[in-house]
Structure 1
Amino acid sequence: MGYYFADGIYPKWRTFVKTIPSPRGNKNKYFAKAQESERKDVERAFGVLQQRFAIIRGPSQMFKVSELTTIMKACVILHNMIIEDERDDGDNLNFEYDQLDDLPELSRDHTTEFMDFIECHLHIRDRSTHHQLQEDLIEHQWLLYSQE
């Protein structure tokens, strides 16, 4: 399961890796510095993508990781194409896109997929896994840093 770099306002779920508020020791200090640096880069990228495409407002937990990866790459490519086009062409063209009129009807049945989603959601909220993930990442970062 993937995880996000987050700051202190997020809950202690296994999908959020937060910085250490008052790091003690070289391992924790190095981890906090690296985590905060990466988090800021990711925040900038997601800020642009959310503003332009609103891609992280929907129920992304229902997608497979491979589907989310494809969506994210497509949005980054589209963003880069738009930036290039804006640099090349000073004309401000306004395009009107068709709205979706026929939305599929939602099911209220307890399907296998829905029950899997609920189970996965409960698994995400496991605090002990959150702490273990953070400890594992601290050790991993320290091993990489010490080999440089």
Structure 2
Amino acid sequence: MGYYLADGIYPKWSTIVQTIHEPVGPKKKYFAAQQEACRKDVERAFGVLQSRFAIVKGPDERDLDAPIGIGREAPPPEVQIPDNEDNRFQEFLSRFRKIKDKEAHFSLRNALIDHLWKKFSNNDC
């Protein structure tokens, strides 16, 4: 399962790694600085996309008076009934619980902190 770097407004889920607002110690300070640098890179890239593509900047504005697909009907959706619907639902619930697991959130963040620190301390800086 992948993860996303985020700031403090997001929930503590196993797929979201938040920064440390007041890091104590060199490992956590290094992690917070690296995450902030990544976040700034993403914000800069998103700014470039916004400046070049209007659809990213805001809602897609269209001619509100234009007709909406008159004469064109969409094909009916295909409905597939799963063989074992209860099994699929239980799998969904299991994945949902794993995503919302706060302990997994802190475990992932601590593992990332350790990984970055080992990488940093092995460099010839």
| TM-score after normalising by structure 2 | 0.66
Alignment of 1:4-83 (within 5 A): 4-42=4-42, 48=49
Q: Does 1:116 align with 2:91?
A: yes
Alpha-carbon deviation of 1:132? 1.1
1:133 to 92, 108, 111: 108
Alpha-carbon deviation of 1:44? 5.6
Q: Which letter maps to 1:15?
A: T
Query: What's the C-alpha RMSD, in Å, of the aligned pairs?
Result: 3.1
Of all paired residues, the percent bearing the same amino acid is: 45
Q: Which letter maps to 1:105?
A: V
| TM-score after normalising by structure 1 | 0.57
Q: Secondary structure at the match of 1:29?
A: helix
Q: How many angstroms apart in 1 are the aligned matches of 2:96 and 2:80? A: 20
Distance change in 2, residues 1:145/1:135 (3 Å): same
Larger Rg: 2
List runs of 5+ in structure 1 lacking aligned partners: 53-97
Q: Which letter maps to 1:18?
A: Q
Q: Deviations over 1:115-134 (max 9, x none)?
A: 21211011111111111111
Q: Does 1:102 align with 2:85?
A: no
Q: Deviations over 1:69-98 (max 9, x none)?
A: xxxxxxxxxxxxxxxxxxxxxxxxxxxxx9
Q: Give the aligned partner of residue 61 of structure 2.
A: none
Q: Deviations over 1:27-82 (max 9, x none)?
A: 1111001112223334565785xx55xxxxxxxxxxxxxxxxxxxxxxxxxxxxxx
Alpha-carbon deviation of 1:105? 3.1
List runs of 5+ in structure 2 lacking aligned partners: 50-54, 57-71
Q: How many angstroms apart in 1 are the aligned matches of 2:80 and 2:115? A: 43
